[in-house]
A and B are shown apart, each in its own frame.
Chain A
Amino acid sequence: MAVVALKPYPLRPVDGIEHYHGDQLVYWSWDHHLMFAAPFITCPSPSTRVVDFLEATIRPLIAADPDADRVDWTCVEWIRDHEPIAIDVGKSFSENGIGHKDLLRFRTPGMNTLCG
């Protein structure tokens, strides 16, 4: 459907990747770990290795959860847009086909101290 308007009203997205100075938005959410009120929005460079970003940015963000230390990025289950995906964390975002505004959920079955 299209907006009801007096004259043609085009789509004017304001969040395109061209506004992010070569970086891109990536969202993250740790399933069943609700200590963190909402998914995180981050802005890595597509050429960054996923594991480097996870260790430098995501690990500190989730550190307050009692399960955080036990998270092994090579073992977590990844979900994107409700489908499981394989992520080689040793490779970059672009090599993994992770695009602008993708939401990456990770699951750590059997690990839930706080919201089990």
Chain B
Amino acid sequence: MDMKVQKAKLGLKEKYRLMTRDLGWTPSYQPHEKLYPYAAYEGIVIHDWDKWEDPFRLTMDAYWKYQAEKDRKFYAIIDAHAQNNGHLNITDARYLSALKIFLQAISPGEYCAHKGFARAGREFPGVGTQVACQMQSIDELRHAQTQIHALSSYNRYYDGFHAFIQMRDRMWYNSVPRSFFDDAMTGGPFEFMVAIGFSFEYVLTNLLFVPFMSGAAYNGDMATVTFGFSAQSDEARHMTLGLECIKFILEQDPANLPIVQRWLDKWFWRGLRLLSLVGTMMDYMLPKRVMSWAEAWEIYAEDNGSALFKDLARYGIRPPKGWKDAAKARDHISHQFMLAFYQWSFGTAFHGWIPSEADLDWLSSKYPETFDRHYRPRWDYFKKLADAGTQFRNVGLAKLCQCCQMPCVFTEPDDPTLLCHRERVIDGHRYHFCSDHCREIVEHEPEKYVQAWMPMNQLFQGTSGGGGIENWMRWVNLVDGKDNGDFVGSRDQRNFAAWRGMATSNNGT
């Protein structure tokens, strides 16, 4: 009897063909357009999906193997971290504020990226792109999970971690990342790809992950370092996917250029606004700092970014419109935000504080053009008030930008002594913006933004818990006196000092 000889192993090329491109088919029951109803309405023209080159040619079987291995390593270290009281190895409990912001604002963003890429994987008609998007979707789900697991070990000991899910939806400052991802996810698949796959993952992600992960390492936070490492090889893939997609779109048809350029302008600016929170963490919340936000911006945005846009110039792409204003804001935004968080700390689920003299000196040296002139006098005055026992609390609620939903803390691009005010009446209603660029985004698609759920406005409508600050706190799950307020005198500060004392000396009780 003739036995069919089984080929021992498929070649890589053959395997890739069978496990990606060969999974597609030509529909016969339904027309193609009905199967992919979101592929054309954004105006992007694709002539030949087969021209899309998969940048990493990963097949699902290999993918599962790699990811399982990474998860095994990750959870082994997280277990050890929990068993050995790894939380006591961080440099100082002030560092926890950075983690709280990360868990409330960034990890839910990973989950949104998961949902968005799952949708893109369904909606793009090209099978190579579908498979790549599906892998990224699973990556992003894993990122959300590993971050939540890693940070849950801090939740056992410290305040402000316990309700990140509710706070993602209800806490006023979290409407910034939330609206960012909602905006991307309610775009079509091409805009989502340019927004998250390219602008966020490729242009801006290094600004988030590199400094944040090295900040974690500098400050003894093994849990965060571990999820950072575990995500790093995924991120390399995500960046490549974003870049390949944008090049593919631009190569397919010249009509795509103006649409893509507009998305780049928009998503660069939205991403910049979101990342100013990261700048604040880097400059103020890391007890041992890696580099300043300005330095990170110079390396990862200005240097790498100009190289990238030089490369894209052959497609007719120019640097994003907000590029120059972003550079002007570089030496200001982290200070503007920390000053704001300090005065509003009664309403944040992390602690604020006045930087120490040594920290202020560090900031002066890193921001020689701006800090002594504009920001140090304010910190000095806040300190004077705090020392006199009359700590400054700003109980006024803030005007928010209709686009990015940031409180309007930003100054005029060319005048750091004056807040930037922009407004526009659209169909009889007045709207306010933090900048020219946010205003332009809204003017282009007002239908999308006039329905924005603005936390401060909603408070006055009486929808957020029923009116009044106490109801609001209950509604956002903010525990007054524990999650919020000044770091000095906080439960986190006391507990960390006591537990570390027990771990490192005989003074424990």
Give A residues with C-beta under 8 Å from B.
1-6, 9-16, 19-21, 23, 25, 27, 29, 31-32, 34-43, 61, 64, 66, 81-82, 99-103, 105, 114-115
The answer to whether A39 and B446 have CB atoms under 8 Å apart is no
Bound complex: CA of A106 vs CA of B176, how far in Å?
28
The answer to whether B443 and A115 have CB atoms under 8 Å apart is no
Find chain A residues with CB under 8 A from B460 CB: 20, 23, 25, 41, 43
Partner of B430, one of A11, A29, A38, A99: A99
Confirm or deny: B9 has a beta carbon within 8 angstroms of a beta carbon on chain A: no
The answer to whether A37 and B344 have CB atoms under 8 Å apart is yes
Binary contact track B419-437/A, C-beta < 8 Å → 1, others 0: 1010100110111100000
Bound complex: CA of A27 vs CA of B446, how far in Å?
21
Bound complex: CA of A27 vs CA of B426, how far in Å?
18
Bound complex: CA of A12 vs CA of B421, how far in Å?
24
Find chain A residues with CB under 8 A from B448 CB: 3
The answer to whether B417 and A103 have CB atoms under 8 Å apart is no
The answer to whether A10 and B447 have CB atoms under 8 Å apart is yes
Partner of A114, one of B38, B336, B377, B444: B377
Confirm or deny: B411 has a beta carbon within 8 angstroms of a beta carbon on chain A: yes
Find chain B residues with CB under 8 A from A5 CB: 41, 447
Find chain B residues with CB under 8 A from A41 CB: 396-400, 456-457, 460
Bound complex: CA of A43 vs CA of B460, how far in Å?
7
Bound complex: CA of A2 vs CA of B442, how far in Å?
10
Confirm or deny: B27 has a beta carbon within 8 angstroms of a beta carbon on chain A: no
Chain A nearest CB: distance from B418 CB in Å?
Answer: 6
Given contacts A25-B457, A29-B419, A61-B395, contact A15 B429 (CB under 8 A): yes
The answer to whether B339 and A37 have CB atoms under 8 Å apart is yes
Given contacts A25-B460, A100-B430, contact A13 B419 (CB under 8 A): no
Can you list 15 A-B contacts (CB < 8 A)?
A4-B188, A5-B41, A14-B452, A15-B457, A25-B460, A36-B343, A38-B408, A41-B400, A42-B396, A64-B385, A81-B423, A102-B430, A105-B421, A114-B377, A115-B374
A21: nearest chain-B partner, CB-CB = B462
The answer to whether B445 and A115 have CB atoms under 8 Å apart is no
The answer to whether B398 and A35 have CB atoms under 8 Å apart is no
Bound complex: CA of A20 vs CA of B378, how far in Å?
35
The answer to whether B429 and A16 have CB atoms under 8 Å apart is yes
The answer to whether A9 and B397 have CB atoms under 8 Å apart is no
The answer to whether A14 and B421 have CB atoms under 8 Å apart is no
Find chain B residues with CB under 8 A from A25 CB: 457, 460
The answer to whether B378 and A114 have CB atoms under 8 Å apart is yes
A39: nearest chain-B partner, CB-CB = B399
The answer to whether A101 and B452 have CB atoms under 8 Å apart is no
Bound complex: CA of A34 vs CA of B419, how far in Å?
8
Chain A nearest CB: distance from B256 CB in Å?
Answer: 14
Chain B nearest CB: distance from A31 CB in Å?
Answer: 6
The answer to whether A27 and B432 have CB atoms under 8 Å apart is yes
A58: nearest chain-B partner, CB-CB = B396
The answer to whether A115 and B408 have CB atoms under 8 Å apart is no
Given contacts A5-B41, A11-B446, A64-B392, contact A115 B398 (CB under 8 A): no
Bound complex: CA of A27 vs CA of B421, how far in Å?
11
Given contacts A29-B419, A37-B394, A66-B381, 4 further A-B contacts (CB under 8 A): A12-B450, A15-B429, A100-B430, A114-B381
Given contacts A13-B450, A39-B408, contact A103 B421 (CB under 8 A): yes
Which residues of B (391-416) have their CB < 8 Å from a CB of A?
392, 394-400, 407-409, 411
The answer to whether A6 and B41 have CB atoms under 8 Å apart is yes
The answer to whether A14 and B451 have CB atoms under 8 Å apart is yes
Bound complex: CA of A41 vs CA of B37, how far in Å?
42
Confirm or deny: B42 has a beta carbon within 8 angstroms of a beta carbon on chain A: yes
Given contacts A40-B399, A115-B374, contact A4 B450 (CB under 8 A): no
Bound complex: CA of A40 vs CA of B457, how far in Å?
11
Find chain B residues with CB under 8 A from A4 CB: 41-43, 188, 445
Bound complex: CA of A10 vs CA of B394, how far in Å?
38
Find chain B residues with CB under 8 A from A32 CB: 417-418
Bound complex: CA of A64 vs CA of B394, how far in Å?
9
Bound complex: CA of A99 vs CA of B452, how far in Å?
20
